[in-house]
Amino acid sequence: MSEPTPKPVEPNTILAQDRTRMASFRTQLALDRTTLAWIRTALTMASFGFGTVAFFRSLEHDVPGNETQKLHQRVVVLGVALIVLGMVSTALAGVSHWFTLRRLMRGETPVLRQWPLSITVAMLLSVVCLTGLWALLLR
């Protein structure tokens, strides 16, 4: 019995394979850009937290008083909450990036989460801001 002759590979098949590899490459680059955007956002939140604490600390020294001290204490809590939220956002973005990249490397299709990281951080940031506003209004 003779071996079957291999069929010649069609040019369209080669082009489709090249497009698939390029699509995976573009998806990975988009994933990297998204992670970098998360890092920028998290750094902005943490920087704003540090700046807020530093500003009100200088205000506490320039205008001594019981009212200023209470305001400073409340703003420190808000600043620390923003710093923690920035750190948690960076860590979650890194974990999400790693899991999605692993799926890409295995040739699987990345999945959309039912509850994305962006909604989680937006809700947490809203809670932090509303808590800070509530604390400032109750002074």
For 50-83, write each residue's pLDDT tens digit. 998 888 888 777 777 787 777 778 888 888 888 9
Domain with 66 in it? 36-137
Count of domains observed in the chain: 1
pLDDT(106) > 70: yes
The answer as to whether 20 is a domain residue is no
| Cα-only R_g, the chain | 25
Examine residue 107 and state whether it is found in any structural domain, yes or no. yes
Whole-model pTM: value is 0.72
pLDDT at 86 over 70: yes
Residue 100 near residue 42, CB atoms below 8 Å: no
66-105 b/e (C-beta count within 10 Å ≥ 16 → b) = eeeeebbebbbebbebbbebbeebbeebeebbeebbeebe
